[in-house]
Amino acid sequence: MSKRCLVLDANILIRAVLGTRVIHLLADNAERVAFLTPSSAIDDARKHLAHLIDKHGLDVDVAMATLDEALRLVIALPDEELEPWRDEAISRIGSVDMDDWPIVAAALEIDCPIWTEDRDFFGTGVATWTTDRVELFFSNTSTENR
């Protein structure tokens, strides 16, 4: 991949809806960073947002439109394409949250770091960025992934 890339966890997609910082970071950096996520992470974000919309007093239509706006900046990776990396990803994530294997598999497949707020990815051998630090990743003008 010629541009730098980041694999987004579902919680980053959710933050793009519930706050303003993530959606702005995505929009401001989409020209030079490829944002990718497994299709299962998109499904997870939609499922969790359905529960969070009422809790946060959001309008359903506005929230889903914001998610759709964020997803226009993201490349969805079918989980089936990540299947060859499943065993390796599961062995790295361990028993912490086996449902997160597609995120790790995507990071391994395309050799990209993960953007997440989930500490479960720490120690998997994949570089991990949190929102409070990801601007350092964006500010690096190198064309390398890490």
Among 67, 74, 26, 35, which Cα is nearest to 50's?
A: 67
Strand partners, 76: 37
Q: What is the mean pLDDT of residues 103-119?
A: 95
Q: Please tell me whether residue 19 adopts helix, strand or coil conformation.
A: coil
In 3D space, the residue among 103, 97, 142, 144 whose CA is nearest the CA of residue 126 turns out to be: 103
pLDDT reported for residue 126: 95
- Mention the CATH class of domain 4-137: alpha beta
Nearest to 120 by CA among 135, 100, 90, 106: 100
Query: By 3-state DSSP, what share of the chain in percent is helix, strand and coil, each rounded to 5?
Result: 60, 15, 30
pTM above 0.85? Answer: yes
Reference 11, options 34, 44, 58; nearest CA is: 44
Q: Percent of the chain scored above 70 by pLDDT?
A: 93
**What is the mean pLDDT of the segment spanning 5-25?**
95
What was the pLDDT predicted at 130?
Answer: 95
Domain boundaries along the sequence of the chain:
4-137
Q: Looking at residue 107, what is its pLDDT?
A: 97
pLDDT at 98: 76
Percentage of the residues of the chain whose pLDDT score is greater than 90: 70
95 pLDDT above the threshold of 80: no
pLDDT tens column, 38-92: 999 999 999 989 888 888 788 888 888 999 999 999 999 999 999 999 999 999 9
